[in-house]
């Protein structure tokens, strides 16, 4: 652990041998194609399927007229369930969002299915749809009303503190709709063997998908197996169970033949989740020396009519700085759109953008360096509860990032740095991500020759989980990484949490280490009790596993093979479960039922989070307003780093995503009809390589003895937090113009 091991699955991936969901060969598959709604609100009056049925090779066309009540109502994950929505697919003529699945065509070939899907004619009765936050017909409700357990963080008397503050900021910020657009499309293959169903689907939570299928199809969970060893990008979109899976399963059951669906890129914009647009009003009060006295944050988030998805980012932002008076409030705005869902750092991306931009405005009002402002308000304790941070290295991150960036050469006044035709701006912002952990189980088997197999139904979304878990087992058992085989992404393996909230490394490495420790104990005991042998009579705590040996501090050692012989067994298999601090005792039971319960962040007795500092240079062309980002430096501290190479890759990728969020990414809404316009990668802009010339990630060392036994904090969702604020702040520094709405657009600069 701690070494920059190359990915253990790297060769498989670059040679095309890693099997993604739709790569699994199944016998004689039929192919499915979706037909999605052309309207956002209303009902289906009729179908004309004659043309579609006439296509040679068409086997079946499922609509609400034929499926009806076959799918049981899913339970929304926001209410403790597993599904992205309570919508029951193909259960009625009702349309609640554009792009809703209205039919599924199954044929012998993909081509026939697609052709027939094109020929399905649907007649609708359309009603006016409410598209977004300020559209007519939306319903705005406080989060406390739609979610009983929701609590708006607050402390002190923020209103009074604001009134008394000599310096105040009061501004409104907005973030756009975004879609994950993982390269791997939403694919599902369902295979029935008698009563048993196997689902091949890219998943961030195979145990949830297993139980969801059992519930939605009315079958025994033990008859469902979900296989998803590799995932080609997910970013939250493959965590909750979407309506398509049950439909593919039903189609396969009706035909008694495997059915394979790979939805199109455009359909991916409406059959799964997305990041909804948000609006924020932030008010800050401070003394002239920069000490914050008040923080008031109200947020509005778009959701659907059916489900109240909530990101509620003040649950993160209220805990970052030392502010004695905090008042927050979050609202959901129900629109006629699909239900949004997790997208990388769901609460932090929009809410931290608002807070970190407001802080920059405050620094400007105070005529103060923005990093100094953050230093003045740094804290070791949760300002809401007073509980201590398990560890916190925010200012160390700023210090290291500043040094690497050359921040002290920054001129304070906006518009004062120029290079030829380019206005130069330097901006900064804090990155933060709460540390989450979940109950986890794992099985580890060690053979006499050192061959190790780790089984855990965790998920590698391209993040490096295979490698981190292999490194953990290798270190605990004193073996090379190559001796460890890791099996993930299969619901037949011991249950592990959702790959969400960046908890996988912390949860899974801790449980795997625990299982390895069980193996160690048995071998050590055997070695110590053996009649002869160099470790006879030693204390278990005095030995370690190194280089295929059990070694004492004085150099006395027993080889693994000898220890096995002393034990009299050819292999040992250990099963372990692990409950993180603060987890409710029934968490294991919930985990086995596919519940995504996580603990962490701001707890009663402590608060755990990873921090970072991002410093950026933005250049604005005087003549064209072109915005370019020649360099970005991020320094991050996230406890113990299991693999600096994959961590570095996550940070760099996160910052690039942050640049995308700031300058490019936005799902365009046709506000008249509640539809998305740019549903492909030609029109949904993300940066190309030329847009991200110099991205530097610094790993700041941090030791955390409290957060969990291995001291690991999640970091996958850390680095794309704050980037957009840093860039907006740099734009202000370059031009003196404050843009409070993302993405930053060139015409806003002219």
Asked, as a colleague might, if the bond just before 743 is cis with ω within 30 of 0, I would say: yes
For residues 729 to 748, the per-residue mask of contacts with other proteins, x marking binding by CB under 8 A and - elsewhere, is: ----------------xxx-
* Nearest distance, CB of residue 742 and other proteins, angstroms: 14
Q: Is the Cβ of residue 83 or residue 660 nearer to other proteins in the bound state?
A: 660
* Nearest distance, CB of residue 64 and other proteins, angstroms: 23
Helices 723-735 and 348-366 pack at an angle, to 10 degrees, of 30
Tell me which of 365, 404, 685, 706 binds other proteins, using CB under 8 A. Answer: 685
What are the strands of the beta sheet with 543-546, ordered from one edge?
Answer: 543-546, 549-552, 557-559
Q: Is the Cβ of residue 625 or residue 644 nearer to other proteins in the bound state?
A: 625
Pick the piece of the chain touching other proteins (CB under 8 A) from 21-29, 196-204, 301-309, 625-633: 625-633
* Nearest distance, CB of residue 690 and other proteins, angstroms: 3
- In this structure, are residues 733 and 414 in contact, taking their beta carbons and an 8 Å threshold? yes
Tell me which of 626, 670, 694, 703 binds other proteins, using CB under 8 A. Answer: 626
Pick the piece of the chain touching other proteins (CB under 8 A) from 156-164, 429-437, 583-591, 677-685: 677-685
Tell me which of 147, 291, 628, 738 binds other proteins, using CB under 8 A. Answer: 628
Pick the piece of the chain touching other proteins (CB under 8 A) from 319-327, 536-544, 638-646, 688-696: 688-696
Tell me which of 324, 388, 625, 630 binds other proteins, using CB under 8 A. Answer: 625
Q: Is the Cβ of residue 94 or residue 624 nearer to other proteins in the bound state?
A: 624
Tell me which of 558, 663, 707, 712 binds other proteins, using CB under 8 A. Answer: 663
CA distance 99 to 96: 9
**Torsion (CA) 490, 441, 505, 499 in degrees, nearest 10:** 50
* Nearest distance, CB of residue 216 and other proteins, angstroms: 31
Contacting other proteins within 248-267 (CB under 8 A): 266
Q: Is the Cβ of residue 457 or residue 627 nearer to other proteins in the bound state?
A: 627
CB within 8 A of 427, min separation 6: which ones? 360, 370, 615, 616, 618, 725, 726, 727, 728, 729, 730, 731, 732, 733
Describe the chain by its helix, strand, coil percentages, rounded to 5: 30, 25, 45
Tell me which of 126, 128, 369, 691 binds other proteins, using CB under 8 A. Answer: 691
CA distance 622 to 605: 52
Distance of CA 367 to the CA centre of its chain: 37
Q: Is the Cβ of residue 146 or residue 663 nearer to other proteins in the bound state?
A: 663
Asked whether position 531 contacts other proteins by CB under 8 A, the answer is no
CA distance 87 to 76: 9
Tell me which of 110, 118, 124, 575 binds other proteins, using CB under 8 A. Answer: 118
**Torsion (CA) 139, 145, 147, 150 in degrees, nearest 10:** 120
Annotate 40-73 with b (16+ C-beta within 10 A) or e (fewer): bbbebeebebeebeebeebbbbbbbeebeebbee
Helices 504-529 and 465-477 pack at an angle, to 10 degrees, of 20
Q: Which burial class, exposed, middle or buried, applies to 446 when counting CB atoms under 10 A from its CB (0-12, 13-18, 19+)?
A: buried
Asked whether position 687 contacts other proteins by CB under 8 A, the answer is yes
* Nearest distance, CB of residue 747 and other proteins, angstroms: 4
* Helical ranges in 79-196 per DSSP H: 110-119, 143-146, 158-164
* Nearest distance, CB of residue 748 and other proteins, angstroms: 10
* Nearest distance, CB of residue 662 and other proteins, angstroms: 12
Tell me which of 570, 624, 672, 703 binds other proteins, using CB under 8 A. Answer: 624
The H or E element containing residue 598 is none
Asked whether position 750 contacts other proteins by CB under 8 A, the answer is yes
Pick the piece of the chain touching other proteins (CB under 8 A) from 165-173, 560-568, 660-668, 727-735: 660-668
Is residue 364 annotated as part of the catalytic site, yes or no? no
Tell me which of 73, 565, 573, 668 binds other proteins, using CB under 8 A. Answer: 668
CA distance 115 to 54: 10
Asked whether position 576 contacts other proteins by CB under 8 A, the answer is no
Of residues 379, 395, 159, 368, the one with CA closest to residue 283: 159
Q: Is the Cβ of residue 554 or residue 747 nearer to other proteins in the bound state?
A: 747
- In this structure, are residues 31 and 260 in contact, taking their beta carbons and an 8 Å threshold? yes
Q: Is the Cβ of residue 38 or residue 255 nearer to other proteins in the bound state?
A: 38
Asked whether position 677 contacts other proteins by CB under 8 A, the answer is yes
Asked whether position 147 contacts other proteins by CB under 8 A, the answer is no
**How many Cβ atoms are within 10 Å of 80's Cβ, its own excluded?**
12
Half-sphere exposure of 267 (CA within 13 A, CB side): 24
* Nearest distance, CB of residue 420 and other proteins, angstroms: 14
Query: Of 361, 475, 702, 717, which is the active-site residue?
Result: 717
Asked whether position 627 contacts other proteins by CB under 8 A, the answer is yes
Asked whether position 678 contacts other proteins by CB under 8 A, the answer is yes
Say how many residues touch other proteins, by CB under 8 A: 23
CA distance 338 to 724: 26
- Give 482's DSSP letter: G
CB within 8 A of 663, min separation 6: which ones? 627, 629, 687, 691, 727, 743, 744
* Nearest distance, CB of residue 267 and other proteins, angstroms: 12
Q: Which burial class, exposed, middle or buried, applies to 706 when counting CB atoms under 10 A from its CB (0-12, 13-18, 19+)?
A: middle
Q: Is the Cβ of residue 111 or residue 195 nearer to other proteins in the bound state?
A: 111
Provide the sign of the torsion angle of the four alpha carbons 24, 26, 29, 35, taken in this order: negative
Tell me which of 136, 409, 537, 690 binds other proteins, using CB under 8 A. Answer: 690
Q: Is the Cβ of residue 271 or residue 311 nearer to other proteins in the bound state?
A: 271
Instruction: Enter the tokens of residue 566.
Output: 């002393």
CA distance 737 to 359: 15
Asked whether position 664 contacts other proteins by CB under 8 A, the answer is yes
* Nearest distance, CB of residue 271 and other proteins, angstroms: 17
Asked whether position 109 contacts other proteins by CB under 8 A, the answer is no
Q: Is the Cβ of residue 228 or residue 679 nearer to other proteins in the bound state?
A: 679
Which residues lie near other proteins (CB under 8 A)? 118, 266, 623-628, 663-664, 668, 677-678, 685, 687-691, 745-747, 750
Instruction: Give catalytic residue positions.
Output: 717
């Amino acid at each position: 652990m701690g070494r920059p091991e190359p990915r253990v699955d790297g060769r498989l991936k670059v040679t095309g041998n890693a099997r993604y969901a739709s790569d699994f060969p199944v016998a004689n598959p039929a192919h499915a194609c979706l037909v999605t709604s052309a309207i956002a609100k209303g009902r289906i009056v009729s179908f004309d399927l004659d043309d579609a049925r006439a296509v040679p090779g068409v086997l079946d066309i499922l609509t609400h007229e034929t499926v009806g009540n076959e799918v049981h109502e899913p339970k929304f994950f926001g209410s403790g369930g597993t599904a992205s929505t309570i919508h029951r697919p193909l259960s009625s003529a009702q349309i609640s969002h554009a792009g809703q699945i209205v039919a599924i065509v199954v044929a012998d070939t993909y081509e026939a299915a697609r052709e027939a899907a094109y020929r399905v004619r649907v007649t609708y009765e359309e009603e006016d749809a409410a598209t977004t936050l300020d559209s007519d017909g939306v319903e705005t409700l406080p989060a406390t009303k739609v979610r009983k357990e929701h609590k708006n963080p607050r402390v002190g008397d923020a209103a009074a503190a604001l009134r008394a503050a000599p310096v105040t900021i009061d501004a409104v910020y907005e973030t756009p709709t975004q879609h994950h657009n993982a390269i791997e499309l939403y694919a599902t293959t369902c295979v029935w063997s008698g009563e048993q169903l196997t689902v091949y689907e890219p998943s961030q939570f195979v145990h949830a998908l297993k139980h969801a299928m059992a519930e939605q199809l009315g079958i025994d969970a033990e008859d469902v197996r979900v296989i998803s060893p590799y995932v080609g990008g997910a970013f939250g979109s493959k965590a909750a169970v979407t309506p398509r899976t049950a439909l593919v399963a039903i189609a396969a059951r009706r035909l008694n033949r495997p059915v394979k669906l790979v939805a199109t890129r455009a359909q991916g914009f409406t059959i799964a989740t997305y990041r909804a647009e948000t609006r924020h009003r932030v008010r800050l009060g401070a003394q002239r020396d920069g000490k914050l006295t008040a923080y008031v944050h109200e947020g509005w988030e778009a959701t659907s009519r059916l489900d109240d998805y909530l990101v509620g980012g003040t649950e993160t932002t209220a805990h970052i700085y030392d502010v004695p008076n905090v008042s927050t409030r979050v609202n959901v705005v129900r629109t006629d759109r699909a239900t949004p869902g997790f997208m990388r750092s769901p609460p932090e991306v929009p809410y931290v953008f608002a807070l970190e931009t407001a802080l920059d405005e405050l620094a400007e009002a105070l005529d103060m360096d923005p990093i100094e402002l953050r230093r003045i308000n740094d804290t070791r304790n949760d300002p809401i509860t007073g509980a201590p941070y398990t560890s916190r290295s925010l200012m160390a991150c700023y210090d290291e990032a500043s040094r690497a960036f050359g921040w002290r050469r920054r001129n304070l006044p906006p518009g004062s740095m120029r290079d030829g035709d380019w206005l130069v701006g330097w901006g900064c912002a804090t990155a933060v991500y709460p540390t989450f952990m979940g109950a986890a189980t794992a099985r580890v088997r060690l053979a006499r020759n050192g061959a190790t197999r780790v089984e855990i139904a965790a998920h590698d979304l391209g993040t490096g989980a295979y490698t981190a878990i292999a490194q953990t087992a290798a270190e605990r058992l004193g073996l090379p990484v190559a001796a460890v085989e890791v099996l993930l992404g299969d619901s037949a393996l011991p249950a592990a949490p959702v790959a969400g909230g960046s908890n996988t490394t912390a949860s899974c490495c801790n449980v795997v280490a625990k299982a390895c420790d069980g193996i160690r104990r048995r071998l050590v005991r055997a070695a110590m009790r053996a009649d002869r042998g160099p470790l006879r009579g030693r204390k278990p705590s005095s030995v370690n596993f190194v280089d295929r040996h059990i070694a004492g501090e004085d150099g006395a050692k027993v080889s693994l093979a000898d220890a096995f012989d002393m034990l009299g067994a050819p292999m040992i298999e250990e099963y372990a479960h692990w409950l993180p601090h603060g987890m409710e005792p029934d968490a294991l039971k919930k985990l086995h039922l596919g519940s995504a319960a996580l603990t962490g962040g701001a707890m009663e007795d402590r608060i755990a989070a990873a921090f970072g500092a991002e410093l950026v240079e933005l250049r604005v062309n005087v003549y064209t307003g072109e915005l370019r980002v020649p360099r970005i430096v991020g320094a991050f501290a996230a406890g113990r780093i299991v693999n600096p190479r994959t961590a570095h890759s996550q940070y760099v990728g996160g910052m690039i995503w942050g640049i995308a969020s700031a300058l490019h990414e936005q799902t365009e809404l046709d506000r008249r009809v509640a539809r998305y316009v740019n549903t492909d990668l030609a029109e949904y802009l993300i940066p190309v390589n030329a847009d991200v010339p110099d991205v530097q990630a610094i790993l700041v060392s941090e030791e955390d003895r409290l957060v969990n036994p291995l001291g690991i904090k999640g970091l996958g969702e850390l680095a794309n937090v704050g980037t957009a604020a840093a860039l907006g702040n740099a734009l202000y520094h370059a031009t003196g113009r404050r843009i409070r709405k993302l993405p930053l657009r060139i015409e806003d600069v002219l």
